[in-house]
Every structure is written in C-alpha cells, then in structure tokens.
Amino acid sequence: MSKVMMKGNVAAAEAAIRGGAEFFAGYPITPSTETLETLSHRMPEEGRVFIQAENEIASINMVIGAAATGARALATSSGPGMALKQEGFSYAARNDIPYVCMNVQRWGIGLGMLDSGQVDYLRDTRAGGNGDYRHIVYAPNSIQELVDDMYEAFDVSQKYRMGVLVLSEGYLGQMMEPVELPPYKEIKKPDWGLDGTGEVGLKQTCACYNVPLAHKLLPKRQERLAQVCREMQRVETIAVEDADYVFVAFGLPSRVCADTVKRLRSQGEKVGLIRPKIVFPYPFDAFRKVNPHVKGFISVETNDYGQMVQDVALAAKKELPERNVPVYCYAYSVGVPRVGEVIDFYRGVLSGEKKEVY
C-alpha cells in the first residue's frame, strides 16, 4: 500500500475509523482539534456517530454511554480537557467499560500553553480519577506509530475491558509525515453490551456497595491487571547490552535520544536507549537486557521536574536489586531538546556536574 503525507491528528482520526470507531464525542481544544474536525465529516460518511459535546465532562459521559452498549467509542482532548474527564474515567472503570481516548499533550500547568510537552505522564499512567484502576497507555513517537496504536487500541480495550489512552504530544499532532493507512476492520459486537431491554448486558451488583462481593471480585481484577502487565510489554532498545549509560525516553524525545546514541557511539561512548512504546504497563522487562555493570540511567523528558524518572528508578531497583544504579533526569521543560543539548547533559553527568535524582 502506498504512503500518504498526513498531519498527526488527521492520521489518528482516520486510523480510528479504520480500527472500528463507531461513536465519537469531543470538545475542541488545541492542539487536538484537527482530530475532531476530521471526524466531524468522516464519521457521518461511514454511517457512524459524531457529536460535538457542550463540554469535556459531557463528552466523556457520552462516550461511556455508547461504550456501555458495546460500541467502539472514542474521545480526544488535551491536558486541561483530560483533567475534566477523570471522574468519567473512574465511573467507566467501576463497570469495566472499555473506550479509547487520545491526549494530545500541551505543556504547562493550569491552562498551560499550546506548545508540546510530556506533562501528563504521571496522571495518565496512574489514572487521575478516584479509586484503584489503570489505563493501558500507548506512547507513539511517530505518526505511523500513532496510526498503528490507534488502530489497535479498540481491540485492546475490549479484550481487557479497560480504558486505553493514546498519549500523543502537541508537535506530534501538528507535524506531517508519510504514513501507510491500514485496511478497515470488521466491527464485531461484544456479547456484554446493553441492548435497552434490561435483559442483555451489564447486569452485575456493584462491588463498591457490597463488601463480601468486593473481596470475591478482587482476585479477578488483580489477575486481569497482572495479565495486562505480562501481555502488553512494548519497548524498543538500542545498544543496551554493553552500555555504560542508558538513556530512557518515550515519544518525541526518544527520537532525539536515538540520534544522540548514534552520535555518541561514533565517538566511542558506550551509551544505549530504552524507549517504552507503552508506558503503562511499564516495560520493566527491558531493563533486564541492560549491561549488568551499567553506571547510570538518564531519563529525558519534556516537563519541568521529571515524571517518568520515577518509573525508571523503580525499574532500576526492581531489575538490578543488587546494585544502587544512579538515575538522572534531563527535564527539558517545553518543546523537544536537540541532540547537542542531550549530549551536553550527558557530559554533565560524566563530569559530576549533574546529580542523580534517585
């Protein structure tokens, strides 16, 4: 199949349709709005449902309602809008309702700015609503990967009966790259969806209000999460087997770090890269492939204080328990760092100027 040049947000919308999205509800918010705009005409063209909701809270509740019938339902937003959806996510998790939501992250706190960033990592990988639940969280670093992730996300959400987030970034949504679009999937209705009669679908006593039932269901919920953690390990590694220092990055900074590894290797430096393609469940398995004598991990992120660095430190402790491997963090803040800037930080680690975080 030939490739076409597409903007990230538009490509994600087209991939969602081809992946079987039957219902969309959303609200405009930069830098994700092109997805909504594209779906506003593409969904009706395919005989599917598009709704521009009155606000972000309404949109996620519409998505939950559609998903409860077994429909493949989608929402998209950015940081402030995602914050408003958290209660809805929690209610969906309570009833094992699957859905897909794409977060095109923009940098900053509060309303933030329209620039790109990775500021929502902790909220989205831990689940921001009340109670114990998780999302499966994809973290693409190219538009082709964004397409592939969105295409797969509906199958994954319905397989595990969980919400799935696609953690995009402002620049990824706005830039253009050549992509190969996948074929249309056949949409298969699950057997658990509500049918409006009261005879078919989600008929269960809510464990939240029944202590004995909650204890009975807990092992099943724990096993499902354990299954997700086993089966959804997605990661790319570069030259980690003999590396003295290993960069860890996802999304757009990982592309910079891949070029950084290439340049430093050409200069005789033993460095490598771990790139999580899915950030929940976190790819702890990848850290087992690292040189057992590694001298440090360097998390490269586009936020102010570092967020993924917590998972890097946990992975280092979990997979290399016999050693206290230093973990550093290059929190670049807004935008995407250049190769030279990452190399400068690495040199600072070697000289002792940069101090370990964990």
DSSP 157-215: HHHHT-EEEEEEEHHHHHSEEEE-PPPPPPP---TTS--SSSSSS-----GGG-HHHHH
Q: What is the DSSP string of 89-125?
A: HHHHHHTT--EEEEEEEB-SSTT--SSB--TTHHHHH
Specify the pLDDT at position 205. Answer: 46
Q: For residue 215, is pLDDT > 80?
A: no
Q: Are 24 and 46 in contact (CB under 8 A)?
A: no
Q: What is the DSSP string of 229-296?
A: HHHT--EEEES-TT-SEEEE--HHHHHHHHHHHHHHHHTT--EEEEEESEEES--GGGGGGS-TT--E
Count Cα neighbours of 5 within 13 Å in the Cβ-side half-sphere: 2
DSSP state of 47: T
pLDDT in tens, 180-214: 999 999 998 888 888 877 777 665 545 555 666 66
pLDDT in tens, 105-142: 999 999 888 999 999 999 999 989 999 999 999 999 99
pLDDT in tens, 142-151: 999 999 999 9
In which residue are the tokens 């609200």 written?
27
pLDDT in tens, 55-84: 999 999 999 999 999 999 999 999 999 999
What single letter denotes the amino acid at residue 255?
Answer: R
Mean pLDDT of 9-23: 98
- Does the bond joining 281 to the residue before it have cis omega, within 30 degrees of 0? yes
Mean pLDDT of 256-274: 98
- In order of their start, the domains of the chain are 4-201 (3.40.50.970), 235-351 (3.40.50.920)
pLDDT in tens, 242-257: 999 999 999 999 999 9
| pLDDT band for position 322 (cuts 50, 70, 90) | confident
In which residue are the tokens 């559609």 written?
66
Say what percent of the chain tops pLDDT 90.
87
Specify the pLDDT at position 1. Answer: 67
Residue with the bigger pLDDT between 114 and 281: it is: 281
Specify the pLDDT at position 210. Answer: 62
Residues 6 or more apart whose CB falls under 8 angstroms from that of 304 comprise 119, 331, 333
